[in-house]
Amino acid sequence: MRIGIVCPYSWDVPGGVQFHIRDLAEYFLRLGHDVSVLAPADDDTPLPPYVVSAGRAVPVPYNGSVARLNFGFLSAARVRRWLHEGAFDVVHIHEPTSPSLGLLTCWAASGPIVATFHTSNPRSRAMIAAYAILQAALEKISARIAVSEYARRTLVEHLGGDAVVIPNGVDVDFFASAEPKAEWQGDTIGFIGRIDEPRKGLPVLMKALPTILAARPRTRLLVAGRGDEEAAVEDLPKELRARVEFLGMISDEDKARLLRSVDLYVAPNTGGESFGIILVEAMSAGAPVLASDLDAFVQVLDQGAAGEVFANEDADALADAAVRLLADPARRTELRDRGSAHVRRFDWSTVGADILSVYETVTAGAAAVAADERTTGLRARFGLARD
C-alpha cells in the first residue's frame, strides 16, 4: 500500500507527535509498504530517506504558546506536489485542526484521508471563528482516529461526528528488555519531562519531596529532561537538594534503562495531556507508576488498576502515596505485573495493525488520493484549470 503521512510539527524538534509518526512510518516500512512522510524541516537537517521536507516552519504565536507552523502559498504548492508525486492509496494527517501542513493537505487532497487527533484542547476562540472554513476541510476526512476516549469526547463535542479510538504505540519490548543501571537503583523515584514546563508537574513533586524524604531519608529523585536545574530546586531546603539528581537530556536507551531501574515512576502532570505515552513506557519497563488523576492518565492506567493515581496538584496526596508505595514492595510488584500485562495493547504490533485496518477500511471501494482540482480557485470552477 502507498501511504502518505503528514506531520504538522517541525521534524527537527523532538515531540510526541513526531516520534509517533516516525515509529508508525518505520513499522509500515518493515511490513513492506511504501511510506512517505511530509514534514516541516530546516533545509540543513539530516532527514531519514522516507521524509520529504515541506520547508522551514515559521514560529507564530498560536493557542497560548509559540508554535512552529507551515502555511502560505509556497507550503500549499509543496503539499500539492507531494500529493501528485506520491500517488498515495491513503493519506494520514496528524493534528488536522492546527493551522499547518495537516489542514493544507486536507484542503488540497481528495480521496481516502485518515486523520489522527492527538490533543484534546478546550475549544479555542480561533477555532470557533474559523469553524466554517475548518468544517469544509475536515469533512473530507473519511476516517478519524482519536488517541484516547478523552480525546474522542472533546472531538465529538467540538467538531461533531465520530472517531475510533486507537492509542499511541510503544515498542514495549525495547523498554522491557533494557538493562537496569546499578547507580540508578535503590530507593529511587524517577521523573522524565521538561523541567521548566509547569504543566509537566515537577513543582508539585518538589513540594512533596520534603515529606517523602522525612519518611524515607535514603530516597533519591532522578530527573531527566531539559530546563533550568537551579530554578527547579530553589524552593527546596538546602540540605535536601543533594537528594535530587539531574540527568539532563537522555537518549532513548538511557530513558529505558532509567525506567527499568527506578522503584517508582511519578507523573505529576497538571494538565494538557491527552494520552500519556510516558506512562505506557514506564509500565513497559516494569516501573510502578504513580500519576496525577488526569482523565487521560486514569484511562491509560486502566482506571487505576495498572498504576496508582493521586488528586491532581495535591502535593500532600502525592507524598502520602509515594511513601506508602516505597514502603510496600509487594504492592509495587503487583503494579509491575499488572502494568506489564496491560501495556501489551499499546505495543506497535497491535496499534499498527489497527491503523492498517483503518486504512484498509477506507480504501475499500474508494479511488486513490489525488490533488483536489475543485479547490484551485475560480479558474477551476469555470473549467479553466490546467490538467
Partner 1 sequence: MTATLIWILVAVVAIGVYLSWTAGRLDRLHVRMDAARAALDAQLLRRASVAQELATSGVLDPAASIVLYEAAHAARQAEEEQREVAESELSQALRAVFEDPAQVEAVREAPGGEEAAHELAEAVRRVPMARRFHNDAVGAARRLREHRKVRWFRLAGHAPFPLAFEMDDEPPAALVERAA
Assess contact for 348 and 355: CB atoms under 8 A: no
**Which C-beta is closer to partner 1: that of 87 or that of 341?**
341
CB of 110 to partner 1, least distance (A): 7
365 binds partner 1 (CB under 8 A): yes
Angle at 104 between CA 368 and CA 370, to 5 degrees: 15
Please, where are the H alpha helices in the chain?
A: 16-30, 73-86, 101-108, 125-129, 131-138, 149-159, 172-176, 202-215, 229-232, 252-261, 277-284, 295-300, 315-326, 329-342, 348-363, 378-381
CB of 347 to partner 1, least distance (A): 10
Which SS3 state, helix, strand or coil, does residue 133 take?
helix
378 binds partner 1 (CB under 8 A): yes
**Which C-beta is closer to partner 1: that of 330 or that of 378?**
378
Q: What number of residues does the chain have?
A: 387
Site map 151..180 versus partner 1, x via CB under 8 A: ---------xxxxx----------------
**Which C-beta is closer to partner 1: that of 132 or that of 330?**
132
- Candidates 22, 125, 107; CA nearest to 71 is 107
Within 290-349, the residues that bind partner 1 by CB under 8 A are: 341-342, 344-345
- Kindly tell me which residue out of 17, 294, 358, 369 binds partner 1, with binding defined by CB under 8 A: 358
Q: Encode 46-76: b = buried (16+ Cβ within 10 Å), e = exposed.
A: eeeebbbbbbbbeeeeeeeeebbbbeeeebb
Within 203-262, the residues that bind partner 1 by CB under 8 A are: none
**Which C-beta is closer to partner 1: that of 185 or that of 349?**
349
Sheet holding 90-94, edge to edge: 51-53, 34-39, 2-6, 90-94, 113-117, 143-146, 164-165
61 binds partner 1 (CB under 8 A): no
201 binds partner 1 (CB under 8 A): no
The helix (run of H) or strand (run of E) holding residue 65 is: strand 65-69
361 binds partner 1 (CB under 8 A): yes
Assess contact for 245 and 223: CB atoms under 8 A: yes
Instruction: In whole angstroms, give the CA distance from residue 148 to residue 117.
Output: 9
> Which residues, listed in sequence order, are joined to residue 164 by a DSSP beta bridge?
145
136 binds partner 1 (CB under 8 A): yes
**Which C-beta is closer to partner 1: that of 17 or that of 358?**
358
- Kindly tell me which residue out of 69, 143, 318, 326 binds partner 1, with binding defined by CB under 8 A: 143
- Kindly tell me which residue out of 357, 379, 384, 385 binds partner 1, with binding defined by CB under 8 A: 357
Which SS3 state, helix, strand or coil, does residue 199 take?
helix
Within 85-114, the residues that bind partner 1 by CB under 8 A are: 110, 112
CB of 345 to partner 1, least distance (A): 5
List residues near partner 1 by CB under 8 A: 110, 112, 136, 139-140, 142-144, 160-164, 341-342, 344-345, 350, 354, 357-358, 360-362, 364-366, 374, 378, 381
